[in-house]
Amino acid sequence: MAKKIAILMGSKSDLEIMKKALEVLKKFEVEYETDIMSAHRTPEKVAEFAKNAKNNGFGVIICGAGLSAHLAGVVAAHTNLPVIGVPILAKSSPAGLDALLSTVQMPKGVPVACVALNNSYNAALLALKILAVSDNSIYEKLEKFKKEMEQEVLSYSKELKNNKL
């Protein structure tokens, strides 16, 4: 049975950034579910979700959060599924360093994969690559995607050489 991907956000304000991940998963026709839950305001909901994620058919969990950005770490503390953190740049923290460090600086034994600030697009691709280890249809779609990216770059290169850019 194909595994689902969970996309969790710490607050409603994170949705705009996380939409890129949704677009990727729709393009790849992979089942996913989204929810808003806060590591600080709804900690029991977070723990309950994470503890039951595997039994509920999930294979990877993507967590987007800003500021203290503890969502990915708290989820990772309650599951053995891969967790990918998307640190989100908050308006009150223009550099985003707080969210980045909160996501990436996890203690020994509680790993969280981390992508660049606001890069839910790459988080979705990483989640797909994780599922592709055991799902050939996703693997084949990723191969096709990679070839499309290559052709796009070669096309731009050709245009540049022909002074068309």
Question: In whole angstroms, how far apart are CA 63 and each of 46, 56, 112, 123?
Answer: 11, 17, 10, 9
In the chain, what percentage of residues exceed pLDDT 70?
98
> Strand 83-88 and strand 113-114: pairing?
parallel
- The Cα–Cα gap between 85 and 138 comes to 21
- The Cα–Cα gap between 147 and 140 comes to 11
Q: How confident is the model at residue 5 (pLDDT cuts 50, 70, 90)?
A: very high
Q: Is 1 helix (H, G, I), strand (E, B) or coil?
A: coil
Tell whether the model's pLDDT for residue 162 goes beyond 80: yes
**Domain limits, the chain:** 4-134, 136-165
Tell me the per-residue pLDDT of 130-154, one tens digit each, with 9 for 90 and over.
Answer: 999 999 999 999 999 999 999 999 9
The CA angle 127-128-129, to the nearest 5 degrees, is 90
- The Cα–Cα gap between 118 and 141 comes to 24
Mean pLDDT of 2-24: 96
Q: What CATH number is given for 4-134 in this structure?
A: 3.40.50.1970
Strand partners, 34: 7
Token pair for residue 44?
């029991």
Tell me the per-residue pLDDT of 35-85, one tens digit each, with 9 for 90 and over.
Answer: 999 999 999 999 999 999 999 999 999 999 998 899 999 999 999 999 999
